[in-house]
Structure 1
Amino acid sequence: MGDGDVAARGGTAPGDRGGGRMALTALRGALGFLTRIPVGRDEAAWGAFARSPWTFPVVGYPVGALVAAPLLLAAPPASVPAPTVALAFVLAVYAVTGIGHLDGVADLGDAAVVHGDREERRRVLKDSELGVGGTVALALVVFGLATAALGLVEVGAGTGDVGVPVAALGVVVAAEVGAKTATATLVCVGDAPHEGLGSALTGESSPRAALPVLALAAPAALLAWPRLLPGLAALLAALATAALVRRWVRRRLGGVSGDALGATTEIARVAALHAGVIAWTRF
């Protein structure tokens, strides 16, 4: 595989003279696509990002730190009640990442309850109306985020700390990195069933590109130090979510669409947070 092939199917080749510049451009594109931060909205940034799935987990680290910040409100001097902290956490998640991925949750939720073949489910995916399946899916995701935040506040109470211990905040970052990694993994190993956002991303990467994605995500398992299991559980739960979504969409929809990628991010985040909380409290 030549340098041009590497750039086209997983990012900039290490020996490229402009590799550093292209990497920064790809990161700008990742921030522009994966968050509401007003950078990386130009065509060059998008193109570099689409060829660089490794940027997903990298962006997960600062995004996770930002969305974890409201949990500190549980500590003095604020000492905000846990339910209010949970609401602030949910608001922070969508203030930073936007609500675009929730459209994928809604669409897959509607498709999941369809009694029909692949074509019928694909038709539902393109339907802009929100059905019962999509409504329930959205409610479960938001409820899952809120209850995970409550669990993290309880972690602090269970350890005798007032508020949320810093190590528990690492679970939030690990979960965000895990959610981004889950989506990037689907980009690398998935095939899109039709033209669209899914094909624009999956068509630019190969399974080999998943290796740097996983390598960059691995340090997140240590973010709950001195505890190891919570961060590791968060990452593994996110990857397991990606595997389950991939299996389901291949059987039911014929491949990985943009909706599947967005839904994977949201569902994997919830799964990772709860896995981290469970590992913290039970092991």
Structure 2
Amino acid sequence: MVLGMVDFQYKNTKSETMIEDIRNLIAFMTRIPIGTENFDFEKIAEYFFIIPIIGLIIGGFGALLAYILSYIFPSTIVGIIVMFFLLYVQGFHHVDGLADFGDAWMLMGSPKRKLEVMKDVYMGIGGLIFVFFVELISIFAIIYAIEFSVVYILIAEICSRLGMLACACCGTPCSEGTGRYFVKKSDEKFIVMGLMLTLLIVFPLAGKLGVLCVILAILTGGYIARVANKHFRCVNGDVLGATNEITRMVVLLGIVFYLYANQSLQPLHNLIQMI
């Protein structure tokens, strides 16, 4: 009986620790104040595979905001406000990573020099152009997509985190920085669990389009990891942040292409049905 009580207390403590680490992961990745200020990156990285759930949380708030604002403002204004909200909730961390990634990738030099540029506090023209066009394209894609359904905001946010997970899984960890913990922990098991979580959410919502978004997310994350491994010899936190922003853009473009193609082909489908 004593052994049973000890075992129960151990399991209960372990469960509480797991919940706390997941809360800290969410707090680190967002501005949602549910974690502690001091936490162990080694521990929270063990639950990095649930990052699509963080996309679900942020995307859910974004979709709800878009739904409410659509009754007040035209879709152009709604798209801009929602994009700002999505970036704000994640603390603008990933935008900063995108700027650093753009500067380092465009620099002509050794991997060591590129990493030094990525770490400095200045933004060069490469970073500025990357941020401007990636976020601008994302805004216009959101504007078009929400004309059909606000649920596409949710799907894009979930898949953007899957892309980040794919990048971490395919990347080589750096020797320093907080990003190295997530890259070191991420392996094939992580990407499989993240993929299953994502499909369980997006497939019921969007069917074939959801599968297309998942494929685009994994391909984008893998490609950026390949670029980072080649140019920087590793994947760090800035690369992961950039992956989130770029994957969101790619997935949104995939959604827009799918919706536009279906809309353009609808008259042909109607004609075939009449015949």
CA RMSD of aligned residues (A): 2.1
Contact 2:163 2:218 in 1 (8 A): yes
How far did 1:240 drift? 1.4
Corresponding residue for residue 271 of structure 1: 250
How far did 1:109 drift? 0.6
Looking at structure 2, the residues matched to 154 and 204 of structure 1 have their Cα atoms a distance apart, in angstroms, of: 39
Corresponding residue for residue 151 of structure 1: 144
SS at match of 1:17: helix
TM-score (norm 2): 0.84
Corresponding residue for residue 161 of structure 2: 180
Rate the CA distance shift 1:123–1:95 in 2: closer, same or farther, 3 A.
closer
* Structure 2 residue runs without a partner (length 5+): 1-9, 263-275
Which amino acid counterpart does residue 257 of structure 1 have in structure 2?
A: N
Alignment of 1:127-166 (within 5 A): 127-155=120-148
Looking at structure 2, the residues matched to 210 and 43 of structure 1 have their Cα atoms a distance apart, in angstroms, of: 27
**1:202 equivalent among 183, 204, 207:** 183
**1:109 equivalent among 102, 109, 112:** 102
How far did 1:74 drift? 5.8
Which amino acid counterpart does residue 182 of structure 2 have in structure 1?
A: L
Looking at structure 2, the residues matched to 210 and 98 of structure 1 have their Cα atoms a distance apart, in angstroms, of: 25
TM-score (norm 1): 0.81
Looking at structure 2, the residues matched to 219 and 279 of structure 1 have their Cα atoms a distance apart, in angstroms, of: 21
Which amino acid counterpart does residue 69 of structure 1 have in structure 2?
A: L
Aligned-pair identity in percent equals 24
* Structure 1 residue runs without a partner (length 5+): 1-15, 156-167
**2:112 equivalent among 94, 98, 119:** 119
Rate the CA distance shift 1:41–1:179 in 2: closer, same or farther, 3 A.
farther
**Stretch of structure 1 that moved more, 46-55 or 175-184:** 46-55
Give CA-to-partner distance per residue, 1:174-215, whole Å, 9 cap, x none. 211111112123333422232111212222343322221211
Corresponding residue for residue 10 of structure 1: none
Looking at structure 2, the residues matched to 188 and 40 of structure 1 have their Cα atoms a distance apart, in angstroms, of: 25
Give CA-to-partner distance per residue, 1:241-264, whole Å, 9 cap, x none. 101101100111001111111111
Corresponding residue for residue 59 of structure 2: 64
Looking at structure 2, the residues matched to 273 and 96 of structure 1 have their Cα atoms a distance apart, in angstroms, of: 19
Looking at structure 1, the residues matched to 28 and 248 of structure 2 have their Cα atoms a distance apart, in angstroms, of: 17
Contact 2:51 2:161 in 1 (8 A): yes
Alignment of 1:1-283 (within 5 A): 17-18=11-12, 20-44=15-39, 46-73=41-68, 75-76=70-71, 78=72, 80-155=73-148, 168-225=149-206, 228-283=207-262
Looking at structure 2, the residues matched to 193 and 108 of structure 1 have their Cα atoms a distance apart, in angstroms, of: 14
How far did 1:44 drift? 4.3
The structure with more helix, counted as a fraction of residues: 2
Structure possessing the higher radius of gyration over alpha carbons: 2
Which amino acid counterpart does residue 82 of structure 2 have in structure 1?
A: F
